[in-house]
Amino acid sequence: MTLLEQIAEKIGAIRYEDLPCEAIEWAKIAILDTVGVTLAGAGEDCARIVEQTLGGARGECLIFGGDHRMGPLDAALINGTAAHALDYDDVSNSLGGHPSAPILPALFALAETQDCTGAAFITAYVAGFETETRIARGVHFHHYEKGWHPTATLGVFGATAACCHLMGLSIAQTAQGLAIAASFASGLKANFGTMTKPLHVGHTARSGLFAAMLAKGGFTANPSALEHKQGFLMVFNGEGTFDVEAILKDWGNPYDVVRPGPAIKQYPCCGSTHPALDALLALRGEHAMPADKVVRIDSWTHPRRLAHTNRPDPKSGLDAKFSVQYCLARAALQGQIRLEDFEGDAYDDPVVRALMTRVHAAPHPDAGTENEEALGAEVRVTFDDGEVITKKVGAALGRGPENPLPAGTFAAKFADCASRALPPASVARLQAMLETLETAPSLRALVAAIAVPKRAAAE
């Protein structure tokens, strides 16, 4: 069997009744979180421009943030872009990117066209999550450091696997879908900080659904598209930079959605800035930090993460999401990071800009390329009287089940995000439905609860 056929066999073997309780619970958390950030991102320019460009042809699949519907591929593209528009969606240590945003917009569109139970939806999500993160284990971190955006280049396999599972495709059909997806893989880190980064995710969600639909229809591709001498592994990574055994080893034991699990963001900016933010906010909670008394803030993070967050002069709100200097200056000034801090010309606030000049980012001297502390950071604040305070964190809060968010943070995040599109009563109802997703008899009914009520949409 080819590598894709072996992966397809493992995908097909995933059953809801065999899933551990932890996998179901973490799947529900990730789905709830993704729905929230998609609703919040639906009004962003990147999602709006994509929708306008597609022309607005009517269909049966909901466009999040409104009450209108388009075809499944268009819905996956628009909602996928919205899901990542704020860079507030979950992340994965294994994937080196965002695991849920590539999968769920495709699954929601598919679930509306064929309907399914909540349990089937959860199972398909777990299958997609496992597929993308296991392939990631075989190619990282060379793949990431080479410049590929793993959320897109690997997420396309997750989206395809999830859709194939929900469709109930055979092993052969699923292998064909994954082989088609290998040719759809794309996404460059050079476009971080621009609208094209969330477009990567929309394109990935659409491509995953499209690949599965093509495979169902009998479309062909090379089932050796991963290991072929001119296949994905050799072309995207290169000889000697991937490990095929790591892809198949310990599949589902435990499921990656359980350990290390998805990391839920508490700040609406690049996850690579989060450990430094945690360190600074912890210091701010312990020590007064008036801006006029701070003469220098030093931030040390892993070089892999600093490469795309060392941006001392952000040029837009999107760019500011990837500026550790901006994020730390904001946190020092106001003690929190909010969605509003990346809207309009907030990035150009003169008070923040003044403090940013005193924020210095550098690679941590103790961080090797394989160091476990790749997720950590150290921050030092120097005051005008010579006092120095420091804090080091191993990983950002929310970075996996063993490092949870502070109590109440997750619920507050969902309410804040969803309320940007839905009235309060609809937010509460939707949250309750998502929290009991495994009992839902129909995903169509659940998606109907995501739609903006017509009166609210008209207003």
pLDDT band at 459 (very low <50, low <70, confident <90, very high): low
Tell me what pLDDT residue 409 has. Answer: 92
| Cα separation, 319 vs 301, whole angstroms | 19
pLDDT band at 456 (very low <50, low <70, confident <90, very high): low
| Cα separation, 183 vs 200, whole angstroms | 15
Tell me what pLDDT residue 125 has. Answer: 99
Output phi, psi for 330, to 5 deg.
-60, -50
CB 275 within 8 A of CB 395: yes
CB 105 within 8 A of CB 158: no
Contacts 24+ apart (CB under 8 A), 188-194: 188/147, 188/148, 188/149, 189/147, 189/148, 189/149, 189/308, 190/147, 191/149, 192/149, 192/270, 192/308, 192/322, 193/308, 193/311, 193/314, 193/316, 193/318, 193/319, 193/321, 193/322, 194/316, 194/318, 194/319
Tell me what pLDDT residue 386 has. Answer: 97
Position 369 pLDDT exceeds 50:
no
pTM of the model: 0.94
Burial 293-318 (b: 16+ CB within 10 A, else e): ebeebbbbbbbbbbbbbbbeebeebb
Position 372 pLDDT exceeds 60:
no
pLDDT band at 437 (very low <50, low <70, confident <90, very high): very high
Q: Of 250 and 401, which is predicted with more confidence?
A: 250
pLDDT digits (tens, 9 = 90+) for 141-161: 999 999 999 999 999 999 999
Tell me what pLDDT residue 367 has. Answer: 67
Percent of the chain with pLDDT over 90: 91
CB under 8 Å to 148, separation ≥6 — which residues?
Answer: 187, 188, 189, 236
| Cα separation, 51 vs 198, whole angstroms | 13
| Cα separation, 361 vs 306, whole angstroms | 8
| Cα separation, 326 vs 306, whole angstroms | 13
Tell me what pLDDT residue 394 has. Answer: 87
163-186: average pLDDT = 98
Output phi, psi for 98, to 5 deg.
-110, 115
Question: How high is the mean pLDDT of the chain?
Answer: 95
Tell me what pLDDT residue 368 has. Answer: 57
| Cα separation, 311 vs 355, whole angstroms | 14
Tell me what pLDDT residue 404 has. Answer: 84
pLDDT band at 402 (very low <50, low <70, confident <90, very high): confident
Tell me what pLDDT residue 428 has. Answer: 97
13-38: average pLDDT = 98
Position 258 pLDDT exceeds 70:
yes
pLDDT digits (tens, 9 = 90+) for 67-87: 999 999 999 999 999 999 999
366-370: average pLDDT = 60
Burial of residue 52 (number of CB atoms within 10 Å: 0-12, 13-18, 19+): exposed
User: How far, in Å, are 2, 41, 285 from residue 209 at the CA level?
Assistant: 22, 21, 46
Tell me what pLDDT residue 242 has. Answer: 98
Tell me what pLDDT residue 366 has. Answer: 79
Position 371 pLDDT exceeds 60:
no
Tell me what pLDDT residue 457 has. Answer: 53
Q: Facing residues of 359 across strands? A: 297
Q: Tell which residue, 189, 196, 153, 145, has the closest CA to residue 318.
A: 196
pLDDT band at 374 (very low <50, low <70, confident <90, very high): confident
pLDDT band at 400 (very low <50, low <70, confident <90, very high): confident
Percent of the chain with pLDDT over 70: 97
pLDDT digits (tens, 9 = 90+) for 292-346: 999 999 999 999 889 999 999 999 999 999 999 999 999 999 999 999 999 999 9
**Which range, of 103-107, 204-208, 274-278, 406-410, averages the lowest pLDDT?**
406-410
| Cα separation, 355 vs 305, whole angstroms | 22
